Chain A
Amino acid sequence: MSTATETNAPDVTTGMDLLRFATAGSVDDGKSTLIGRLLFDSKSIFADQLESVEATSSAKGHDYVDLSLLTDGLRSEREQGITIDVAYRYFATPNRKFIIADTPGHVQYTRNMVTGASTADLGLVLVDARNGLTEQSRRHAVLLSLLRVPHLVLCINKMDLVDYSQEVYERIHDEFTQFATKLSIPDLEVIPISALAGDNVVERSTNMDWYSGPTLMHHLEHVHVASDRDLVDVRFPVQYVVRPKSDEHHDYRGYAGQVAGGVLKPGDEVVVLPSGMTSKIAGIDLYDSEVDEAYPPMSVTVRLEDDVDVSRGDMIARVKNAPTPSQDIDAMICWMAPGTLKPRQKLAIKHTTRTGRALVKDIQYRLDVNTLHRDQDTKELGLNEIGRVQLRTTVPLLCDPYSKNRTTGSFILIDEATGVTVGAGMING
């Protein structure tokens, strides 16, 4: 019998880190071609996938290999020739693994873009050099900023169709930078590329000597994401209580969860919310070993010194640095369902590991995601609309502003009758 135990495998991917990025662009800006190229140039496309794409391309009468077919997965999408849902793609270079959330660009798919951006470290907005910034590209930037995606790359694509003109690049660059001052974008890179010809995607372009910045791939490989996490404010939402009740581990009682913020260490004085009981961390377990610190996004099991009452939905924080439990929530909400969100509506709410009910008290304004205009006259939100909403919840939420912590600052709203996720919320403050 062969088992893996006999060998000592090299850590091919263990030492790598991870970058999750979301792509956005209007139809035909070249998003699928760009992703196809990233996959192709990083050798993440297999021969059978390529052959199937080649066959479909020629059946459709194309004289080129349509790399966009690699990403447009569902049958209805292939038939309509557009990307309608978030598709996840994977590729790796020697130092980094990448997860791409490929999101559709249309305004009627705003919710899909919000979904893809919710977990992204970096957002990639594509524009067609011939058209420059459009209403859609502005909206994409607004959404990425609203979702607090910390890094943004604006790719000016199809440079081959504007004679690789520096002037075109600079005009779009300046227009975008000016627009971006109204947003919260901590890190911006503007890269002139040709997804079709490959300029500045992986290889540095020989057609744009005037551009001295990084290629897209170089930037993706080197952008620093480790410090995007909050390593100061300890937040540990309890997911599950581990109680083996076996002879061997008779008295074991551990609180399992994924660290949402800060660094936990044995010996730390902690408070359990909402009860307010205090204790000390006795130990932190990761499977059968103990660790001397736990930080985001580790999944660990925390043991406390005292026999305090802790259950799912509670949160462990530091005594002098804990969120204030609150039942009055002020948030930006993206409405994701047909029908409207109106005052006095009741919904289920899920925040970290806590579930309760929420009552819509007021809709302060609707945000025009193209212009950032705040429309205070409309007291409801329709599908794909975003607005500032006041909620009253049945249970106190142990939350932080979304701008401080994307895990403890976010929630979803669920329709209690259909069970469907209908809203995504980002807490203000």
Chain B
Amino acid sequence: MTKTHSDYRLSQLDQLEAESIHIFREVAAEFEKPVLMFSGGKDSIVMLRLAEKAFYPAKIPFPVLQVDTGLDFPEVLETRDRWVSRLGVKLVVASIDDAIASGVVVDDGKTSRNRLQIGTLLNAIEENGFTAAFGGGRRDEEKARAKERVYSHRDEFGQWDPKNQRPELWSLYNGRLHEGEHMRIFPISNWTELDIWDYIGREGIEIPSIYFSHQRSVFERDGMLMTETPLNPLRDGEVAAERTVRFRTCGDITLTGCVESTASNIPEIIEEVAAARLTERGATRGDDRFSEAAMEDRKKEGYF
């Protein structure tokens, strides 16, 4: 038997874990058809781990949904597949290419894949009749998220109405929905980036290798280091070179930048994160840098 603390103290990481597990169980008990949105990134891996713990020794009682942008890092997809097969959960893939082919979203050549994700995701939620979708958003990530509820209501169009959020008190979550509406659930709302790394280290769980320092052919664009790939052709004046880098977030390979780093294990990453001067999104996400309200706008439309 594991001995618990003799003074009945619970560390903050254990408290966060307990809170998240509580949320998973509430949702599984109260919603007809939940789904976990899994990007393969570190936050969604932590979510999956928490879900695993919440229902153990039973299997996770809902499927995992991934939006396949066609521009995902191969390392991320490999990690995803290993997690899915270890846990024996069902994987639903919603592909942007399929969505374009079937006319669910329109690729006008100007809209980024990131935006096409929104329509693809909402369509997958509707088609499958999912009533609750777990997302790995954290409130420390961004200003608009700082005010979002754990249970975040979406109307029939999948939209978030930040001015009309339901009050959320104690740990009493309100999951009432009307036909066609769904709930986004953010079980790791109160975790910070450092908590996530700490937990990954403590749990010893697998994350995609791109989070660790490696050699990569990269080029500079808008002050960020981008992966050289045929999916993202070099523009005039851009030159690719081998650098020692790692990623702080996993997203669309054409938009997600990396940072120069020699951090090759969790303690080194934690050290780096603790000393970092840029938020993970500000540093490496082209999609969030366009305006101060970029995230708020995308969230209203139904972004994760």
- Enumerate chain A interface residues (CB-CB to B < 8 A): 1-18, 46-49, 52, 56, 70-71, 73-76, 84-90, 92, 96-97, 99, 111-112, 114-115, 118-119, 226, 229, 231, 239-240, 242-246, 248-249, 252, 256-258, 263, 285-295, 297-299, 301, 312, 336, 348, 350-353, 406-407, 410-412, 414, 419-421, 424
- CA separation between A411 and B26, bound complex, in Å? 15
- Complex interface bits, B10-24 against A, C-beta within 8 A gives 1, otherwise 0: 111111111101100
CB–CB A1/B265 < 8 A: no
B296 within 8 A of A: yes
B178 within 8 A of A: yes
Residues of A within 8 A of B172 (CB): 350-352, 410-412
CB–CB B167/A410 < 8 A: no
- Known contacts A263-B8, A295-B10; 14 additional CB pairs below 8 A are A7-B267, A9-B267, A11-B13, A11-B202, A47-B278, A88-B139, A239-B29, A285-B56, A295-B8, A297-B18, A336-B167, A352-B172, A420-B176, A424-B167
- CA separation between A326 and B56, bound complex, in Å? 33
- CA separation between A18 and B162, bound complex, in Å? 28
CB–CB B54/A299 < 8 A: yes
Residues of A within 8 A of B241 (CB): none
Residues of A within 8 A of B56 (CB): 242, 285, 287-288, 301
Closest A residue to B140 using CB positions: A90
- CA separation between A7 and B14, bound complex, in Å? 20
**Which of B11, B171, B198, B270 makes the CB contact (< 8 A) with A258?**
B171
Q: Check A118/B176 contact, CB under 8 A, given A12-B198, A299-B18.
A: no
Residues of B within 8 A of A242 (CB): 55-58
- How far is the CB of B213 from the nearest CB of chain A, in Å? 9
Residues of A within 8 A of B279 (CB): 46, 48-49
- How far is the CB of B55 from the nearest CB of chain A, in Å? 6
CB–CB A419/B176 < 8 A: yes
Q: Report the number of A-B residue pairs with Cβ-Cβ less than 8 Å.
A: 260
- CA separation between A111 and B54, bound complex, in Å? 32
Residues of A within 8 A of B163 (CB): 74, 76, 84-85
- CA separation between A256 and B274, bound complex, in Å? 35
- How far is the CB of B201 from the nearest CB of chain A, in Å? 3
**Which of A2, A231, A258 makes the CB contact (< 8 A) with B18?**
A258
State which of B108-116, B122-130, B188-196 sits at the interface with chain A: B188-196
**Which of A245, A286, A312, A421 makes the CB contact (< 8 A) with B167?**
A421
Residues of B within 8 A of A70 (CB): 143
CB–CB A10/B267 < 8 A: yes
**Which of A11, A49, A226 makes the CB contact (< 8 A) with B8?**
A226
CB–CB A353/B29 < 8 A: yes
- CA separation between A299 and B206, bound complex, in Å? 24
- How far is the CB of B169 from the nearest CB of chain A, in Å? 4
CB–CB B194/A92 < 8 A: yes
- How far is the CB of A162 from the nearest CB of chain B, in Å? 32
Residues of A within 8 A of B26 (CB): 239, 353
Residues of B within 8 A of A46 (CB): 276-279, 282
Interchain Cβ contacts under 8 Å between A and B, 17 examples: A4-B201, A4-B204, A12-B274, A13-B11, A13-B12, A16-B12, A17-B9, A18-B12, A47-B277, A76-B162, A87-B143, A97-B12, A287-B53, A298-B18, A412-B169, A421-B174, A424-B169
- CA separation between A424 and B178, bound complex, in Å? 22
CB–CB A6/B194 < 8 A: no
The winner among B25, B139, B202, B270 for most chain A CB atoms within 10 A is B25
Closest B residue to A411 using CB positions: B172
Closest A residue to B269 using CB positions: A9
- CA separation between A285 and B4, bound complex, in Å? 12
- Enumerate chain B interface residues (CB-CB to A < 8 A): 1-4, 7-19, 21-22, 25-26, 28-29, 52-59, 139-140, 143-144, 146-147, 162-163, 165-172, 174, 176-178, 189-190, 192, 194-195, 197-198, 200-207, 209, 211-212, 264-267, 270, 274, 276-279, 282-283, 292-293, 296
- CA separation between A5 and B189, bound complex, in Å? 25
- CA separation between A239 and B207, bound complex, in Å? 30
CB–CB B270/A4 < 8 A: no
Residues of A within 8 A of B212 (CB): 2
CB–CB A2/B264 < 8 A: yes
**Which of B22, B165, B171 makes the CB contact (< 8 A) with A85?**
B165
Residues of B within 8 A of A15 (CB): 11
**Which of B55, B168, B170 makes the CB contact (< 8 A) with A407?**
B170
CB–CB A111/B21 < 8 A: no
- How far is the CB of A148 from the nearest CB of chain B, in Å? 11
- How far is the CB of A354 from the nearest CB of chain B, in Å? 10
- CA separation between A239 and B266, bound complex, in Å? 34
Q: Check A410/B170 contact, CB under 8 A, given A9-B270, A299-B22.
A: yes
Q: Check A90/B57 contact, CB under 8 A, given A421-B166, A421-B168.
A: no
Closest B residue to A249 using CB positions: B57
CB–CB B146/A14 < 8 A: no
CB–CB B4/A294 < 8 A: yes
Residues of A within 8 A of B277 (CB): 46-47
Residues of A within 8 A of B3 (CB): 291-292
- CA separation between A17 and B270, bound complex, in Å? 18
CB–CB B144/A248 < 8 A: no
Residues of B within 8 A of A47 (CB): 277-278
Residues of A within 8 A of B264 (CB): 2
Residues of B within 8 A of A248 (CB): 57
Closest B residue to A406 using CB positions: B170
Residues of B within 8 A of A246 (CB): 57-59
- CA separation between A86 and B56, bound complex, in Å? 34
- How far is the CB of A116 from the nearest CB of chain B, in Å? 9
The 8 A-B pairs of least Cβ separation, nearest first, read A9-B201, A419-B176, A48-B282, A73-B143, A18-B12, A244-B58, A299-B21, A7-B265
Closest B residue to A244 using CB positions: B58
- CA separation between A299 and B56, bound complex, in Å? 12
CB–CB A243/B58 < 8 A: yes
The winner among A12, A18, A351 for most chain B CB atoms within 10 A is A12
Residues of B within 8 A of A49 (CB): 279, 282
Residues of A within 8 A of B54 (CB): 256, 299
- CA separation between A244 and B54, bound complex, in Å? 12
Closest A residue to B176 using CB positions: A419
- CA separation between A285 and B216, bound complex, in Å? 44
CB–CB B192/A9 < 8 A: no
Closest B residue to A260 using CB positions: B171
The winner among A11, A88, A114, A410 for most chain B CB atoms within 10 A is A88
